[in-house]
Amino acid sequence: MSFKSTSRNALLALVCCGLILGACAAYDSGTSPAPAEPPPPPELTEEQKIVARFVEALGGEDALRAYSSATTKGAFELPAMGMSGDMTVYQMAPDKTLLTISLPGMGETVTGYNGEIGWAEDPMQGARILEGELLAEAKRDARFYGELEYDELYPEQTVAGETEWNGQAVHQLDLVDSDGNESSQYFATDTGLLVGAEATMTNEMGTMEVTFNFTGYQEFGGVTIPTSTTMSMMGMEITQTVESVTWDDVDPSVFEPSEAIKALLPE
């Protein structure tokens, strides 16, 4: 028997003896032991306070948990190339997502994660299974309640102080995700909303620095979301515009991979 297990058993014996003696004393005195008061809730860290305020600005935890799926429709634009098309995002709790983008003359691009596998299909590269960092990013992005899971998604969080983002006063929160990737997020000091982010992302072209701008927050069914997201990388901008959000209307079959993707899976 190890020293640790011996000490643990001795401690348990002492605890049991203490409980028995305490019960006997209460019986002899004719009194009942006073009920223990629940411990006070732990104090939030400065990092958790920023995230908690962000959640409240979005509508609060109850509003976010009121739904288990969402369909978002809008537009996808590449301004420098003069291209725009339709975008649809399907999401389902806890971790399923499917993004489809249709660009005139370019065909349809599909990326998805169904809780088990991640995949992508487009006319240029065909069908492929996501692996490595691409798969890890897909998993993180698929978290339906991600705003409520910061501590799990980002084990390391540091408030870097107040700064400015596009002329707006913000709190800077530096993050390290569960895979060791670093990023910074910027929350408006007046509203608490997330207005910007800087991160390192990986795709088929490699690893690159990416900047996000979130604007045009609007309420859809009690949840406030940005209706315009601009992503800047490698001197190019991509804009996603939300036109509608509907809740609890997604059929699980949406996340079924195509036959081309299934053919790539190991038997």
Domain membership flag for residue 18:
no
Residue 94 in any domain: the answer is yes
Angle subtended at Cα 156 by Cα 151 and Cα 158, rounded to the nearest 5 degrees: 105
In a domain, 27, yes or no: no
CB 222 within 8 A of CB 247: no
* 1 is a domain residue: no
How confident is the prediction along the chain (267 residues), in pLDDT tens digits per residue? 232 232 323 322 222 333 222 333 333 344 455 566 666 667 999 999 999 999 999 999 999 999 999 999 999 999 998 999 999 999 999 999 999 999 998 899 999 999 999 999 999 999 999 999 999 999 999 999 999 999 999 999 999 999 999 999 999 999 999 999 999 999 999 999 999 999 988 776 778 899 999 999 999 999 999 999 999 998 999 999 999 999 999 999 999 999 999 999 988
How many other C-beta atoms are found inside a 10 Å radius of the C-beta of residue 189? 15
Beta strand 83-92 with 69-78: parallel, antiparallel or unpaired?
antiparallel
Q: In angstroms, rounded to a whole number, what is the distance separating the alpha carbons of residues 103 and 115?
A: 27
Q: Has residue 12 been placed in a domain?
A: no
The DSSP secondary structure of 231-257, one letter per residue, reads EEETTEEEEEEEEEEEES---GGGGPP
Assess if residue 191 is contained within a domain.
Answer: yes
Q: What is the pTM of this model?
A: 0.82
Distance CA 47, CA 157 (A): 6
CA–CA distances in Å: residue 212 to residues 81, 164, 201, 226, 228 = 19, 14, 12, 12, 10
Number of domains into which the chain is organized: 1
Where do the H-state alpha helices sit in the chain? 3-29, 46-58, 61-65, 132-141, 150-153, 259-262
Is position 183 within any domain? yes
Q: What are phi and psi of 169, to 5 degrees?
A: -70, 130
User: In the prediction, which pLDDT does 158 show?
Assistant: 98
Give the CATH number of the domain where residue 86 resides: 2.50.20.10
The residue segments making up the domain with residue 57 are 46-262
9 within a domain of the structure (yes/no): no
Report the candidate in 74, 114, 75, 108 with the shortest Cα–Cα distance to residue 91.
Answer: 114
